Amino acid sequence: MNKTIDKTGKMVYIGLMKTKIITLLLLMICGAAIVMPACTTVQAKAPKDAPKEVKKAVKDAPRNALIGIGKATGTATSQLTGTIAVARARTAISRQLNTMVRDMISVYRAESSLDPTAALAFEDNITVVLSGSTLTGSVVTCETKDDKGTQWAVVVLPKKNALMEIERAQNQAKARVPAAANVDITVKMDAAFNAAVSAGPQVQ
């Protein structure tokens, strides 16, 4: 009788352990499924009307970078048209950086006592600096012309260089806006950068 009870108890115990292990595995799988989308960077896509060379350049670009696409047409020489397309691609990246700055300052203001007037002046000064930046570290990965004669260019700016540009602009802005001397919006860089990448390449 005791042997039968012991055997039954062991079977119940083993059954409970199996149930716990299965439950734990299911929870781990569900957790991974929830976390993975948050950790995955969205694949950048070029405009539908872009030449295949541009689409390939965008597809092959690093996931951890900002992408700018420039278009130009109607100038006297092909060389000048190409130069304008590259310049516009860089401008597209500058716009992304300015959007990042605006987002970072908004979050920073919500968590600090930074005066709204000072925050606005701070943002304006950073925007001016970024708009005139040569985007050190950026790379022209594609220059091509489509069958309609439009010149296209793709420029890529890695995350580390984007951070350098924003830090440089922020330091200059601090010198002009004393009330923001202790501000460091780059602590919000990761979230703003990921949002910019997820938004996809900007076309100018």
What is the distance between the alpha carbons of residues 204 and 102, in angstroms, rounded to a whole number?
A: 19
- Assess whether pLDDT exceeds 60 at residue 203: yes
Residue 46 inside a domain? The answer is no
**34-43, 68-77, 124-133 — which is least confidently predicted?**
34-43
Residue 47 inside a domain? The answer is no
Residue 164 shares a structural domain with residue 192: yes
Considering only residues 25 and 109, tell me which one the structure prediction assigns the higher pLDDT.
109
Residue 31 shares a structural domain with residue 93: no
Q: Quickly state the pLDDT bin for 97 (edges 50, 70, 90).
A: very high
Residue 74 shares a structural domain with residue 18: no
Residue 82 shares a structural domain with residue 121: yes
Contact 48/139 with Cβ under 8 angstroms? no
Residue 61 shares a structural domain with residue 154: yes
Residue 33 shares a structural domain with residue 67: no
Task: Identify the helix (H) or strand (E) that includes residue 30.
Answer: helix 2-39
Residue 103 shares a structural domain with residue 198: yes
Total domains present in the chain: 2
β-strands 151-158, 139-145 pairing: antiparallel
Residue 7 shares a structural domain with residue 93: no
What is the distance between the alpha carbons of residues 85 and 89, in angstroms, rounded to a whole number?
A: 6
Residue 8 shares a structural domain with residue 88: no
pLDDT of residue 111: 85
Residue 45 inside a domain? The answer is no
Residue 68 shares a structural domain with residue 34: no
Average pLDDT over residues 152-173: 96
State the CATH number of the domain containing residue 148. Answer: 3.10.129
Residue 3 shares a structural domain with residue 28: yes
Enclosing domain of residue 18:
1-40
Residue 32 shares a structural domain with residue 61: no
